[in-house]
Amino acid sequence: MTPRTLVVRANGLEHRVIEWGDADAKRTVVLLHGFMDAPGTFGDVVPALVRVGFRVLAPHQRGFGQAPRVPEGAYYHFPDYVFDLAEVIDACVKDATFSLVGHSMGGTVATLFAGAFPERIEKLVLLEGTGPLDNPAGVAPIRMRKWIEDVRALRKKEQKPLRSREDALARLSQNHGSVPVEVLRRRVDDLVGEGPNGELAWLFDPLHRTLSPSPFFVASYKEFAKRVSCPVLVVDGGPAGYQPPDEAERLACFAHVQRQSLTAAGHMMHWTEPDAVARLLVEFL
C-alpha cells in the first residue's frame, strides 16, 4: 500500500503528513507516533484500517522524522505538539470529527488534544500512552538548570554521523533488546536518513537528547482526561511494556474507558505485533 505525503503549513512550520486510503473517505483516524519514533513505523498497522474504510493520517511530529526542527533558541514542549496537531487537523480534516490514536509520547499529546477539544474526537486510543512518571513540584528548578546545562553541552558537542545502516541497526538493538532484530531491520529506513550535511543520521533533532525543563504533572493530565467525552481504549504491552504505577488512577478520570493487553508485545507494540494492534483498532474504531 503506497502512502501519499501531504505538506501542511501548521503553527508557523511546514509539516509533512503521511496519508493512506481514500482521501474522500467519510471516516478519518489520525496516528501519533512516540518519542524517537516516526509515523512510517505504523505502516504494518494501516492496511487493516484502510480495508474497513478509514482514511489514515500520520503526521511527522516536530523534531522527528521528516518534520521541521525548531529554530535556534526554541525547544520542544507538549503544548507545541498539541498546537501543531490542531492546525494539521484544521488543514487535513477541516471541521469533521475523527478518531485519534497515540503511542507513548503520542498518547500524551492525544489526551491533551482530546481534553482541549473534546467535541472533535469520536474515539481515542492510547497505546501505552498514558503519560510519563509524575513529578513533584520541587523538581522544577532542578530540571530548569539541568535543561540549560544539557543544551549548552549539546551545542559544544560534535554530532557523529552513523557509519552505516548496520550501525544504526546495532544501536537500535541495544535500545530495544526485546524487539526481534528482523523487526528492527524493517524500521531502520523510517528512523535513519540524510543529515543536514548529507551524512547518514538519525531522523530526530539532537535537542531531544536533553532533559525538558517542563516537568510532567499528573494532576494536570487528569484534568485533561476528565474533559474527554468519547470512548477511550487503552492498550498495554504486558510486563515488558511501560505502565506508570498510578495508571489506574489516571484512567479513572476518563468517562468511558476500556482496557486491552497484548501481554508479549512490549512497549513498541505496533512494531512487534502490528496485526494484533490493527485487530484491536478495527474492533474498537
Averaged pLDDT, 132-136: 97
In the three-class reduction of DSSP (H, G, I as helix; E, B as strand; rest coil), residue 61 is classed as: coil
So what's the pLDDT on residue 160?
A: 79
213 close to 144: Cβ distance less than 8 angstroms: yes
Q: Which helix (H) or strand (E) holds 200?
A: strand 200-202
Sequence-separated (6 or more) residues with CB below 8 Å from residue 96: 28
pTM for the model stands at: 0.96
Are 100 and 109 in contact by the 8 Å Cβ rule? The answer is no
> Checking phi first, is residue 21 left (phi over 0); if not, alpha (psi -120 to 50) or beta?
left
Closest-CA residue to 224 (of 77, 108, 140, 86)? 108
The predicted pLDDT at position 2 comes to 87
Mean pLDDT value of segment 247-266: 98
Closest among 191, 195, 197, 155 to 175, alpha carbons compared? 191
Using one digit for the tens of pLDDT, what is the confidence trace for 69-107? 999 999 999 999 999 999 999 999 999 999 999 999 999
Percent of the chain with pLDDT over 70: 100
| Residue predicted with more confidence, 195 or 53 | 53
CB 43 within 8 A of CB 33: no
Report the C-alpha gap between 235 and 158 in whole angstroms.
39
